[in-house]
A and B are shown apart, each in its own frame.
Chain A
């Protein structure tokens, strides 16, 4: 049984095609890395899974995207509930201009949870999961903007965890972070695997190698190769993959 499947997915921004016939199947509780040169469509593909592209005018999608066996682009799908199940962490930390506590509680509140005790507990466990609790437990009421960039990004991951999604999408989550914060986030990803299915976009080959089980290489809107991470890095079948991971173009 696959957690996520995409079948013959084409995607268009207006008239220009950004994704061409993408077929991928992702097992539950794995980390999948999406790699490829800038503009090849990684983000576009990632944002299909929580229908974030819907916000853009003039888009068109054909084919099927299945999560837990159901087509998420079917008519009558509730997008809010889909997004509650498929969390997302962005490239740049984007906390709300609210307190640290309210940032994490936000997802619970908008999903109709009002029980104060429950919210407090969930906020605490989520922050603890991202190993941020000791750093922020005394200033939960302070603005999230007072945290460092790395702390903010971990807070955003905690915010995502609080609504207990089963899939987590990450779009270059460490590209704006220093090495130490990056290491912390990577460690986190590795630990989260047991509970979540994770798809991560990264430009960092080492990172893909370190955290992911499978890797997909995109090139100009096409899926060139999709395989076990080790196989793909050590023994790629395609020359384009070989060229990219050895840095011959990019």
Chain B
């Protein structure tokens, strides 16, 4: 009797042990899947909002563009609308209509046509007034709130093209709050990002590689032991602090040196980003150089090569894939950096022609503008689309680095 009980107890114990092992393993597995889950969620959320942009019209929600019903024009693109309201397009013929000049109308202009009495103190007659206006002026184009349009509206509500991929990637203007139609061309932002990052890498690469070579091959271990933590420190400084430093030191310096109206320029961004990319470049390429087999270096030295010849003929070729991985990751870091750039580049969304002019990058745009947008609106979605671009760029960079380092492993055998 007792032994049976003991047996049972034993069985329960083993069962419990097995169960808890399983349970823990499940918990561990769950934890390790969180990163993957997060990546997937980021993709889903980013792209859901971002792609939603291309389902929207660039005209502000609740507003319409109306013209006289006899006007032949039935459709206008966002860029055409903007040019019309900027008075760069003055004749209907330029957009496929008659050869008459365009009459612009916005709600503010209503008092030019009607008196306050006519409109009514509760604006109760406004729809009728607008109706009259659209009917009487054959060349009018009007930007109107939808709610003032009544059922027997005599004008035509113009069809505005949805935001297209071509507009988005080919557009040269980024004015998401433009009226009547937002201008969502990311070209200046993409170019701005590349411009600043390119400058950064041009500054950081020579410095970083030199430091990597120096630390791994030239300096004695004492100096290396001092430099290594300093580089780590450089990596640990928050980007706002870099931005702040750039703002109070580098920006005024650039302004004075080049005698510019403002010092917030692409160059300032490149310098700050270059400093920030240094630790990445140094650590990764130094690691790669240290991995050069000692036998390889000794073989070279034993043949009478100098230390320097050994470095550039053996060590650097041997670690070239690691070095390029470092450089690419450095570029990636520069492209994704937000705060420092936001603080020092001046943020003008124009296609850059010189490093001495303000530029605006993709991350800085998101950071600067997301706070002003209404949740789910056109501008909001446009910024998410920018986030998608950023995500894809960094994903591409990661995969490239992965590819390079896998190839290196293969080469070693």
Direct contact of A and B (CB under 8 A): yes
Q: Is B301 engaged at the interface, CB distance under 8 Å to the other chain? A: yes
Q: Which residues of B contact A215 (CB under 8 A)?
A: none
Q: Mark B201-224, 1 if CB is under 8 A from A, else 0.
A: 000000000000000000011000
- B303 A97 Cβ-Cβ under 8 A: no
Q: Which residues of B contact A84 (CB under 8 A)?
A: 303-304
- B298 A160 Cβ-Cβ under 8 A: no
CA distance A55 to B296 in the complex (A): 13
- A52 B303 Cβ-Cβ under 8 A: no
Partner of A90, one of B220, B221, B299, B309: B299
- A52 B295 Cβ-Cβ under 8 A: no
Q: Is B195 engaged at the interface, CB distance under 8 Å to the other chain? A: no
Residues of chain B in range 297-315 having any CB-CB distance to chain A below 8 Å: 297-306, 309, 313-314
Decide yes or no: A80 and B298 within 8 Å by CB, A96-B314, A97-B317 being known contacts: no
What are the 3 tightest A-B residue pairs by CB atom distance, in nearest-first order? A84-B304, A107-B303, A110-B305
Can you pick out 25 interface pairs between chain A and chain B where the beta carbons lie within 8 Å of each other?
Answer: A50-B302, A52-B301, A55-B301, A57-B220, A80-B304, A80-B305, A84-B304, A87-B303, A88-B298, A88-B302, A90-B298, A90-B302, A92-B295, A94-B299, A106-B300, A106-B303, A106-B313, A107-B303, A107-B304, A110-B303, A110-B304, A110-B313, A159-B299, A160-B302, A160-B303
Q: Is A163 engaged at the interface, CB distance under 8 Å to the other chain? A: yes
Shortest Cβ distance from residue B164 to the other chain A in the assembled complex, whole angstroms: 50
Q: Which residues of A contact B380 (CB under 8 A)?
A: none
- B303 A163 Cβ-Cβ under 8 A: yes
Decide yes or no: A83 and B303 within 8 Å by CB, A106-B313, A110-B313 being known contacts: yes
Q: Is A156 engaged at the interface, CB distance under 8 Å to the other chain? A: yes
Taking Cβ atoms with an 8 Å cutoff, the residues of B that contact A are 220-221, 293, 295-306, 309, 313-314, 317-318, 411
Q: Is A111 engaged at the interface, CB distance under 8 Å to the other chain? A: yes
Decide yes or no: A94 and B304 within 8 Å by CB, A52-B298, A55-B298, A57-B220 being known contacts: no
CA distance A57 to B219 in the complex (A): 11
Residue of B nearest to A106 (CB): B303
Q: Is A114 engaged at the interface, CB distance under 8 Å to the other chain? A: no
Shortest Cβ distance from residue B40 to the other chain A in the assembled complex, whole angstroms: 40
Shortest Cβ distance from residue B320 to the other chain A in the assembled complex, whole angstroms: 10
Contact residues on A (Cβ < 8 Å of other chain), bracket: 20 to 34
Residue of A nearest to B293 (CB): A94
Among A81, A94, A95, A163, the one with the most B-chain Cβ atoms within 10 Å of its Cβ is A94
Q: Which residues of B contact A57 (CB under 8 A)?
A: 220-221
Q: Which residues of B contact A83 (CB under 8 A)?
A: 301-304
Shortest Cβ distance from residue A93 to the other chain B in the assembled complex, whole angstroms: 9
Q: Which residues of A contact B297 (CB under 8 A)?
A: 55
Q: Which residues of A contact B293 (CB under 8 A)?
A: 94
Shortest Cβ distance from residue B93 to the other chain A in the assembled complex, whole angstroms: 68
- B303 A90 Cβ-Cβ under 8 A: no
Taking Cβ atoms with an 8 Å cutoff, the residues of A that contact B are 50, 52, 55, 57, 80-81, 83-84, 87-88, 90, 92, 94-97, 106-107, 110-111, 156, 159-160, 163
Shortest Cβ distance from residue B393 to the other chain A in the assembled complex, whole angstroms: 32
CA distance A111 to B302 in the complex (A): 12
Q: A80-B306, A110-B304 are in contact. List 8 more A-B contacts (CB 8 A).
A: A83-B302, A87-B303, A88-B298, A90-B298, A106-B300, A107-B305, A111-B305, A156-B299
Shortest Cβ distance from residue A172 to the other chain B in the assembled complex, whole angstroms: 13
- A110 B309 Cβ-Cβ under 8 A: yes
Q: Which residues of B contact A95 (CB under 8 A)?
A: 299
Decide yes or no: A94 and B313 within 8 Å by CB, A83-B301, A159-B303 being known contacts: no
Decide yes or no: A96 and B304 within 8 Å by CB, A57-B220, A106-B313, A110-B309 being known contacts: no
CA distance A107 to B301 in the complex (A): 9
Q: Which residues of A contact B317 (CB under 8 A)?
A: 97
Q: Which residues of A contact B298 (CB under 8 A)?
A: 52, 55, 88, 90, 94
Q: Which residues of B contact A87 (CB under 8 A)?
A: 302-303
- A110 B295 Cβ-Cβ under 8 A: no
Shortest Cβ distance from residue B148 to the other chain A in the assembled complex, whole angstroms: 76
- A96 B299 Cβ-Cβ under 8 A: yes
Shortest Cβ distance from residue B221 to the other chain A in the assembled complex, whole angstroms: 5
Shortest Cβ distance from residue A86 to the other chain B in the assembled complex, whole angstroms: 8
- B306 A110 Cβ-Cβ under 8 A: yes
CA distance A52 to B297 in the complex (A): 11
CA distance A107 to B297 in the complex (A): 13
CA distance A152 to B57 in the complex (A): 69
Among B302, B305, B313, the one with the most A-chain Cβ atoms within 10 Å of its Cβ is B302
Q: Which residues of A contact B299 (CB under 8 A)?
A: 90, 94-96, 156, 159
CA distance A55 to B220 in the complex (A): 10
CA distance A110 to B309 in the complex (A): 7
- B301 A81 Cβ-Cβ under 8 A: no
CA distance A96 to B318 in the complex (A): 9
Residue of A nearest to B222 (CB): A57
Q: Which residues of B contact A90 (CB under 8 A)?
A: 295, 298-299, 302
Shortest Cβ distance from residue A31 to the other chain B in the assembled complex, whole angstroms: 19
Residue of B nearest to A93 (CB): B295
